[in-house]
Structure 1
Amino acid sequence: MSKRALPGKRLEISLDQNASISLYKQLYERLRSEILTGQLEAGTRLPSTRVLSSELGVSRNTTALAYEMLLLEGYIESRVGDGTRVAHLQSEQSFRGDQHTTDSSETPQAVLARRGQLLIKESSSEEFFTDRANQSTSAFRSGQPDVAAFPYEVWARLVAKHTRHSLQAVSCYQDAQGYAPLREAIAAHIGITRGVHCSPEQIILTAGAQGALDLVARALLDPGDLAWVEDPGYEGARGALLVAGAKLVPVPVDREGIDVESGRQLCPKAQLAIVTPSHQFPTGVTMSLSRRLALLEWARETQAWIIEDDYDSEYRFSGRPLEALQGLDNARRVIYIGTFSKVLFPSLRLGYLVIPTELLKGLIATRRIIDRHLPLLEQLALADFIAEGHFARHLRKMRGLYRERRNALIEALTQEFGEMLDIIVPEAGMHLVAWLPEGMSAQRVVQQASAHGLHLLPLSQPSQRPFQRDGLLFGFASASPEELRAGVKTLALALGKM
């Protein structure tokens, strides 16, 4: 049964003749707001367009246009001989302003699922890795290669070549695993440089290492499954597991890498473990051989999967890069992840998975559901970039640059802070860790540094457990030696004010 029409009421509305928004739009928005908040109740008779235009001192066209918009959107009803009334809105009470608002400052927890709420916490350091135009210095930024040193002229030539000659031939849907010549080039490269045993058919191209983590977690885990994560460890890995509904088991990391025995005690029957054995993130340690063998033995015994995130081991500063954990695996329990984001440029968003053959069908099916396959143009260009030798030359060049920058940072930190900082000298990668004295707050150091334009990450941030002794993560790849030395001097000035 319809509600009885309520008597009309005088509308207390004022319009701004000088505003940039038109008068009819002002009137429409004011009436719409009063209807949604319940100030104009359903069934209330509104004044005619002629009467309202007279009351407001505007033309009748203005009121007629506002009413027409409200009528079209269902906020008002109009019948010949019955006038214009506020419509009976469905779920009227849900629009009441005293119950819900759309204020953008409202916490997202009110509308997100539990997984979404957890991801907000896990992505707390995202802005640290994101390029921002207003950053005053590039010193100490972690995970950021020196993009200025990339051979863009060569890359542009390859992209242009394939844009002109190749795109039409590959414009239909493509192989979910990725461009076959690029997979062949990757298999050859990592077989020689990383000791990874695979064929091109075992490789799936992904949107960076993060896309690889997400794909594996979706395909291998059911909600509630248990997964080991390094502690401290990469927040992106934890996020991928949370999206899949996994329960995380933080396993401590020491100077030999993940503590496998602690993992066995905490959760012996986890479905998988995500590790960074060649250059642990964030501590920078390399997993010892004994720990590697112990981890592989655990996976073989329990039929668990090991996800090896080999994110920046291409940059090893002394001797030959350590072979990947995957190369030691005789039980086919290791899934290897590599990325070009750190060795070329981050916005390329190209990474890859090397997976045991028995998992291929399931992961390819999952990939097709998620996004079918990656855009192809960059894959075509990258295949040529590797085949023509540009990739190997770029790696050699960047290893020399990063070694020089690492040494400059260590020297500057030692000169300014002496024994105050316990510096862990990395043999690979693009960052190092410096431990603070016990009782010194890394968060306070970060705040002081930020006030001086420096961007540091406290080691406790990517950790699930409190530290008795906290540390700082210093990226060195994206800044010149001069910028790093200047940054250390600025940091010393900032700490002097604590």
Structure 2
Amino acid sequence: MPIRAKMGVPMHIDDLIAAAPLERAAATPLFRQLYARLKEAILHGRLAPGTRLPATRELARQLQVSRQTVLAAYEQLTAEGYLRGGVGQGTFVDASLPAARPAPDPAGTAPGMPRPLPARGLAMASSMARVRHHQGPLRAFRPSMPGLDLFPFDVWRKLEAQHWRRRELPLGYGAAAGYPLLRELLCAYLNASRGVRCTPEQIIVTTGSQQALYLLAQLLLAPGEGVWLESPGYQGAAAPFEVAGARMCLVPVDAEGMDVAHAAAHHPDAAMVFATPSHQLPLGVTMSLGRRLELLRWAEAKRAWIVEDDYDSEYRYTGPPLASLQSLDRAGCVIYVGTLSKVLFPGLRLGYVVAPPALVEPLTQAKAVVDRHSPVVPQAVLADFIQQGHFARHIRRTRDAYAERRGAMMEALASRLGGMLASGPADTGLDVCARITGPLGEAEAVARALAAGVDLRPLSYYVHPQAGPACAAPPGMLLGFSAFTPAEIRAGVARLAQALAP
């Protein structure tokens, strides 16, 4: 039976199905396949509004399927508003549907996108493109990766199972600022270990520190306002500020950390500073006390915010962890951001912000806009993990293990690559910054290492694309040691030495 379009162009059901025949061996039921073909034809105008469809028996005979298959497809299309009709009336494409028209493709619009992305959308879609994410199996010397072999996953599973058995987990919506007990425990931990001065009410739990930076950028920066960023530095930090439309104010780093005097001279009107005073990535330096006080004085005078990213300072191998920059703040301008990815495991995706009192309510409301609240179950399990002493034991255990692994790395680099690489500061964190001192350039050295199966990052990767010569990185590479046993480290250094050999 022919199906005639409203404009008088004949269309046969045979032609319609022939273009995309039913697949009898497919996992999708036949009625769902027929439903999809007819729906597609209606949406694209091949079956115009008002078109009469064949009777169910006739179409079943043509398709050599059961009548129930056709009935089920028609019923689904009728329920969704594509068809109308009834017993004795026939079945029609609903005449009230608008006729399909091919949409024009404006210049610069991606296929399938009705209009180009606005500037903010383009920034959001592209700002993380240069950030490399860990992929594939773990290999020496993947940087910034905790030792998952040391985490007590059995303990974690038992704690989570206990919650499910007791059925005490808060499975409804939670507080935007986070699980109250976890906030209390994090407050006590930060007071004792990092010198952070705060109350539990000042802590907002986030879905990782990346979300914390995004929230702060959106909340505190107007388009065009400047942000001081270390270069070389963590490239993932630049992305949220770029999406907010901020102006990138790149600041060089020397042996004392961020060059505050340089930044104040070249970018005096900035509204925010992003800094890693306890352990700079990738150079590994610690900001001197003089620089810290200089930065605080500048921020107070300019009424600027300082975002202190304290991502792995629990791991200091030549003494106790240093006090935070926040502990020196008397003007309420420092926002302390922490993460649990480096001390526990990255897949947990929990971080936190210690906000100055005046910022707590606005930041909490901003958090609610983005995702209402971070997942409650992991927060509750983490609270038990901390409260029962597992967290403190884990940090002590990993600090000892990482110290051993760091020692193995430094010894192997000195003995096998002493004439080619010079290790930078490595008294904190999970990585070693190794500057190239031999004849090889960075690009060739890194290419050789990667070809030999050594996972690393060139120092040039950490330089922002807008950086000038003053903010360049020395030729070198970042090598992670925390995720590998001493034996794996020695074997990896041997491969690296062979790869870099003349």
TM over 0.5: yes
Letter of the 1:123 counterpart: M
Letter of the 1:360 counterpart: V
**Cα distance in structure 1, aligned partners of 2:490 and 2:287:** 30
Q: Is 1:152 equivalent to 2:181 in the alignment?
A: no
| Of 235-244 and 308-317, the range deviating more from structure 2 | 235-244
1:429 deviates by: 0.2
Q: Is 1:210 equivalent to 2:201 in the alignment?
A: no
**Cα distance in structure 1, aligned partners of 2:251 and 2:208:** 25
- Matched-pair contact (CA < 8 Å) for 1:446–1:455: no
Q: Helix, strand or coil: the match of 1:432?
A: strand
Q: Is 1:485 equivalent to 2:493 in the alignment?
A: no
Aligned to 2:120: 115
**Cα distance in structure 2, aligned partners of 1:412 and 1:146:** 19
Instruction: Give the unaligned 5+ runs of structure 2.
Output: none
Q: Helix, strand or coil: the match of 2:434?
A: strand
Aligned to 1:92: 100
- Matched-pair contact (CA < 8 Å) for 1:278–1:322: yes
Q: Is 1:143 equivalent to 2:148 in the alignment?
A: no
Within-5 A mapping of 1:7-18: 7-10=9-12, 11-12=14-15, 13-14=17-18, 15=21, 18=24
Q: Helix, strand or coil: the match of 1:455?
A: coil
- Paired residue for 2:7, among 5, 8, 11? 5
**Cα distance in structure 2, aligned partners of 1:378 and 1:63:** 48
CA deviations over 1:208-231 (Å, ceiling 9, x no partner): 322332333333223443222222
Aligned to 1:474: 479
CA deviations over 1:438-492 (Å, ceiling 9, x no partner): 9956456555544554432222223213747433221111111111222233334
Q: Helix, strand or coil: the match of 1:419?
A: coil
- Matched-pair contact (CA < 8 Å) for 1:5–1:44: no
Q: Helix, strand or coil: the match of 2:262?
A: helix
**Cα distance in structure 1, aligned partners of 2:264 and 2:353:** 26
1:304 deviates by: 0.3
Q: Is 1:19 equivalent to 2:19 in the alignment?
A: no
**Cα distance in structure 2, aligned partners of 1:23 and 1:374:** 42
**Cα distance in structure 1, aligned partners of 2:58 and 2:160:** 66
| Of 395-404 and 87-96, the range deviating more from structure 2 | 87-96
Letter of the 2:150 counterpart: A
Within-5 A mapping of 1:15-54: 15=21, 18-20=24-26, 21-23=28-30, 25-34=32-41, 36-37=43-44
Q: Helix, strand or coil: the match of 2:313?
A: coil
**Cα distance in structure 2, aligned partners of 1:427 and 1:449:** 25
- Paired residue for 2:133, among 128, 131, 139? 128
Within-5 A mapping of 1:157-196: 157-163=158-164, 167=168, 175-196=175-196
1:9 deviates by: 3.3
Instruction: Give the unaligned 5+ runs of structure 1.
Output: none
Within-5 A mapping of 1:229-378: 229-378=229-378
- Matched-pair contact (CA < 8 Å) for 2:159–2:381: yes
Q: Helix, strand or coil: the match of 1:92?
A: coil
CA deviations over 1:84-134 (Å, ceiling 9, x no partner): 5696854733468xx59xxxx9699976543343344433466634xx5x4
- Matched-pair contact (CA < 8 Å) for 1:277–1:286: yes
> Aligned in 2, Cα 1:198/1:59: closer, same or farther, shift over 3 Å?
closer
1:435 deviates by: 2.6
1:149 deviates by: 1.2
| Of 111-120 and 346-355, the range deviating more from structure 2 | 111-120
**Cα distance in structure 1, aligned partners of 2:185 and 2:55:** 75
Within-5 A mapping of 1:50-69: none
- Matched-pair contact (CA < 8 Å) for 2:229–2:248: yes
- Matched-pair contact (CA < 8 Å) for 2:412–2:490: yes
**Cα distance in structure 2, aligned partners of 1:454 and 1:107:** 40
> Aligned in 2, Cα 1:115/1:141: closer, same or farther, shift over 3 Å?
farther
- Matched-pair contact (CA < 8 Å) for 1:6–1:45: no
CA deviations over 1:365-389 (Å, ceiling 9, x no partner): 3334444544444444444544444
RMSD: 3.9
- Matched-pair contact (CA < 8 Å) for 1:9–1:45: no
| Of 105-114 and 270-279, the range deviating more from structure 2 | 105-114
TM-score using structure 1 length:
0.81
> Aligned in 2, Cα 1:325/1:94: closer, same or farther, shift over 3 Å?
farther
**Cα distance in structure 2, aligned partners of 1:107 and 1:399:** 51
1:176 deviates by: 4.2
Q: How many residues end up aligned between the 2 structures?
A: 484
| Of 400-409 and 375-384, the range deviating more from structure 2 | 375-384
CA deviations over 1:59-86 (Å, ceiling 9, x no partner): 6666666566555555567798898569
> Aligned in 2, Cα 1:176/1:71: closer, same or farther, shift over 3 Å?
closer
Q: Helix, strand or coil: the match of 1:414?
A: helix
1:397 deviates by: 1.7
